[in-house]
């Protein structure tokens, strides 16, 4: 049965087109007009799907209203999948798909299921044999990697660094090893109010000729993406303290 | 001087707006209409920039013509940056920026400077203090990660696996360790004619309960993104032999 299903999928058979789809619907990273930064297909899906799984209902409603004033938000259903969601509750969020409805998954910013808890819903959709359709949109991780000038042939995203000092230093040392041995670009994030402290820490712990790219407010009004050796960052004046920022290391 | 420059950048001072920009201009992954899958800003940059660094001149010209018939292709300049380019030649490709012109970097498919040699040009632009502006577009790596249902909080892209059997098996074992110890999703690619062989090899080398996502012809007519345990793939019928496909492992 599953083998037959796979053949159908590969051949894009008519029956496959009738399978409900979970659209992975990106949203802008900053307060920009969706029509300027999103491909038309995203706007189209935003305007037609009726059942959503979202990280934050308020920001999801605001995004949908900016896509089209004609969307009747009150006719839509929203399930919340955020860091507080019990994983046991996620499977039920896909119930509308069992009834034949398409759904869309949305993060608070950027691409869903990357650096957020949305992957749980995608995993259930995959297990249920539903079609999963990832839509093109902004990802701060990918945009920062492109603009860093670092190796894009092999790279890793680590999410947040450990908070505890010992574990944090070990993690940075491990990243240094992977840069030197594997030529693997290392990407990570930090809570905005700790950005400045993190840069000082990187300058202290890592070799001064290692390169740091600081990519801040990507796609926003104050976008700034700067790659320089740590010895330069050690002397520079900067203030990234309130802005979503992503960090990349390479040598 | 460099410290002053950084302050200017962070504040988006007028002088910064006059700095030439290297736009990182994505192109579609498959033979789709750019207007359907690209955000308006990409089309706008494609229609206004006059100096390009491209992986392949023919496909770049075709993309630009599809963006607008009004572009006079013969007035544009193209430098080729591909796998055969001598790295020593890349700095000179940015000469138009020294004269104050914006430039755009384009890959053959998807986002430039990711899984292609374009990062060399970006590195030179960063060193020269030019503005680097990554535009939103399709990345098979990111779209596959979103749709896999695997961990998007930490992941790594390895490019191509080693060709030699011993090194290849070691690499797969290393990936298995990183999945188990770090919960890090592993992403890699293969030359299309070896796709089917690779799936059989993964089934042989890795534990049967490890999960494989095969993401094929992403954004294309025959897009298929399927996540199942290796024990399922070992019995499935498939043929990914001629299609650009990306592979993801997780447990």
Buried b (16+ CB within 10 A) or exposed e, A161-197: beeeeeeeeebbeebbebbeeeebbbbbbbeeebbee
Strand partners, A226: A214
Residues from chain A contacting residue B38 (CB–CB below 8 Å): 39, 136
The ipTM, to two decimals, is 0.93
Backbone angles phi, psi at B88, to 5 degrees: -65, -20
Q: Which residue of A has its CA nearest to B182?
A: A158
Domain with CATH 3.40.1010.10 in chain A: 2-134
Give Cβ neighbours of residue B165 (< 8 Å, ≥ 6 apart).
none
User: Using CA atoms, how far apart are residues A108 and B92, in angstroms rounded to an integer?
Assistant: 41
Chain A residue numbers touching B238 (CB-CB < 8 A): 6-7, 10
Cβ A156–B155 below 8 Å, yes or no? Answer: yes
Average pLDDT of chain B is 92
Collapse the DSSP code of A34 into the 3-class scheme (helix H, G, I; strand E, B; otherwise coil) and give the result: helix
Largest CA distance in chain B: 64
Dihedrals phi, psi of A179, to nearest 5 degrees:
-65, -45
Rg (alpha carbons) of chain A, rounded to whole number? 21
**To the nearest whole number, what is the mean pLDDT of chain A?**
92
Which residues does chain A have within 8 Å of residue B133's beta carbon, measured at their own beta carbons? 147, 223
> A149–B125: do the CB atoms touch at under 8 Å?
yes
Confidence (pLDDT) at B228: 98
Nearest to A250 by CA among A196, A214, A221, A222: A214
Chain B positions touching A237 (Cβ under 8 A) are 3, 6-7
Residues of chain B with CATH 3.40.1010.10: 13-134
> In this structure, which topology does domain B140-250 adopt according to CATH?
3.30.950
pLDDT tens for A41-86 read 999 999 999 999 999 999 999 999 999 999 999 999 999 999 999 9
Q: How many CB pairs under 8 A join A and B?
A: 207
Task: With a cut of 90, say whether residue B90 has pLDDT above it.
Answer: yes
CA distance B202 to B210: 10
pLDDT class for B11, splitting at 50, 70, 90? very low
pLDDT in tens, A152-198: 999 999 999 999 999 999 999 999 999 999 999 999 999 999 999 99
Distance from CA of A210 to the nearest CA of B (A): 14
B202 has a pLDDT exceeding 70: yes
**Quick one: average pLDDT of A240-245?**
94
> Which of the residues A134, A189, A212 would you substitute to probe the B interface, choosing the one with the greatest number of B C-beta atoms within 10 Å?
A134
**If DSSP codes are grouped into helix, strand and coil, which group holds residue A159?**
strand
Determine what percent of chain A is predicted with pLDDT higher than 90: 89
Nearest to A235 among B3, B24, B144 (CB): B3
User: Could A239 and B10 be called an inter-chain contact, meaning their C-beta atoms sit closer than 8 Å?
Assistant: yes
* Higher pLDDT pick, A12 / A217: A217
Chain A residues within 8 A of B143 when measuring between CB atoms = 134, 136
Supply φ then ψ for residue A53, to 5 degrees.
Answer: -115, 120
Task: Give the minimum alpha-carbon distance from B102 to chain A in angstroms, rounded to a whole number.
Answer: 15
**Predicted confidence (pLDDT) at residue A13 exceeds the cutoff of 80:** no
Record: contact B154-A149, CB cut-off 8 A: no
Interface contact flag, A114 B148, Cβ < 8 Å: no
User: Is residue A214 exposed (0-12), middle (13-18) or buried (19+ Cβ within 10 Å)?
Assistant: buried
Superfamily of domain B13-134: Tetrapyrrole methylase, N-terminal domain (3.40.1010.10)
Residues A137, B136: C-beta atoms closer than 8 Å: yes
Whether B134 sits inside 8 A of A122 (CB atoms) is no
Q: Where in chain A is the domain with CATH 3.30.950.10?
A: 140-250
pLDDT at B13 over 70: no
Verify whether the Cβ–Cβ distance B126 to A39 is below 8 Å. Answer: no
- Kindly tell me if the per-residue pLDDT of B4 is higher than 70: no
Angle at B138 between CA A90 and CA A49, to 5 degrees: 45
3-state secondary structure of A210: coil
Which of A87, A114, A146, A213 should one mutate to test binding to chain B, selecting the residue with the greatest count of B CBs within 10 A? A146
pLDDT at A185: 98
Topology classification of domain A2-134: Cobalt-precorrin-4 Transmethylase; domain 1 (3.40.1010)
What's the pLDDT tens digit per position in A81-108? 999 999 999 999 999 999 999 999 999 9
Confidence of residue A30 (pLDDT cuts 50, 70, 90): confident
Is the per-residue pLDDT at A122 higher than 50? yes
């Amino acid at each position: 049965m599953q083998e037959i299903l796979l053949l159908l999928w590969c051949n894009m058979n008519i029956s496959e087109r009738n399978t409900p789809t979970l659209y992975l619907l990106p949203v802008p990273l900053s307060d920009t007009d969706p029509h300027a930064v999103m491909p038309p297909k995203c706007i189209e899906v935003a305007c037609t799907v009726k059942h959503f799984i979202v990280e934050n209902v308020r920001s999801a409603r605001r995004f949908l209203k900016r896509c089209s004033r004609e969307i009747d938000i009150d006719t839509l259903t929203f399930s919340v999948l955020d860091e507080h969601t019990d994983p046991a509750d996620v499977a039920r969020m896909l119930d509308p798909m069992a009834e034949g409805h398409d759904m869309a998954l949305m993060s608070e910013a950027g691409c869903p299921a990357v650096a957020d808890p949305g992957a749980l819903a995608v995993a259930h959709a995959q297990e249920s044999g539903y079609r999963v359709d990832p839509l093109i949109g902004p990802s701060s991780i990918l945009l920062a990697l492109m603009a860093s000038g670092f190796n894009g042939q092999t790279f890793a995203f680590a999410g947040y660094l450990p908070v505890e000092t010992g574990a944090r230093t070990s993690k940075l040392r491990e990243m240094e090893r992977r840069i030197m041995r594997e030529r693997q670009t290392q990407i990570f994030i930090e809570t905005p109010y700790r950005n400045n402290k993190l840069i000082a820490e990187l300058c202290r712990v890592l070799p001064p000729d290692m390169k740091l790219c600081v990519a801040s407010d990507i796609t926003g009004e104050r976008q700034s993406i700067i790659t320089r050796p740590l010895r330069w960052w050690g002397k520079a004046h900067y203030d990234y303290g309130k802005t979503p920022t992503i960090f990349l290391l390479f040598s």
